[in-house]
Amino acid sequence: MFTKQNVVTLDLEGVLAPEIWIAVAQKTGIEDLRLTTRDVADYDELMQGRLKILERENLKLSDIQKVIAELGLLDGAKDFLDQLRDETQVIILSDTFQEFAHPIMKALAFPTIFCHNLVIENDKIISYRLRMKDQKTRVVKALQDLQYKVFAGGDSFNDSGMLLAADKGVLFRAPQTMKDAFPDLSSTTEYAELLEEFHRFQDAL
């Protein structure tokens, strides 16, 4: 039973599932695809670079989907999310795409996810379409306008707005660059620690 009005918002890649683009880089040997939002703060710059690489390498949507289908979850992610969903409502806020997310969401028993869309022509990824700019931050603020207290967890620069806007934002397995950039955010490396941070937040409501 939900006894307190709070919502948890979590990033997907790096928090619950491996980084999709790193997995694609490992599978294909295309090292340029290893860059993620941990490395490049400007999301459009990152995606435009990826689109150029896909064009150059003739890599199709179906090629990437095959990698994702075999990706799996981070160790312990499903148990962590199950426990969290027993205690509160959880929304996944991700800068991935609907065309990528389904196998991961299935493995997680289909939590709610807000993400973006790709523009596809004949199996070729030609562009991407944001659901809205800075959606993670805007969702947190919208939930707060609805009188929810928000606990957020993330690991990358594209999570920073969400983490700072939340009533409590916590880094999870974040790189040192993130820890240095946001020293006031609590930092965790294990799901038990992240859950403990949530419990402290919940107890303080």
- Is the four-CA dihedral 130, 9, 71, 69 of positive or negative sign? negative
Provide the 10 A C-beta neighbour count for residue 103: 16
Contact 171, 186 (CB under 8 A): yes
Tokens of 115: 């993400």
Catalytic-residue membership of 45: no
∠ CA 76-93-180, nearest 5°, is 75
Q: Which of 13, 19, 99, 197 is catalytic?
A: 13
Q: Which residues contact 21 (CB under 8 A, 6 or more apart)?
A: 33, 34, 35, 36, 50
Q: Which of 11, 99, 159, 197 is catalytic?
A: 11
CA distance 27 to 12: 20
Helices and strands in the chain: count of H runs, count of E runs: 9, 7
Contact 91, 139 (CB under 8 A): yes
Catalytic-residue membership of 86: no
Residue 182's Cβ-side half-sphere holds a number of Cα atoms within 13 Å equal to: 22
Q: Which sequence positions are flagged as catalytic? A: 11, 13
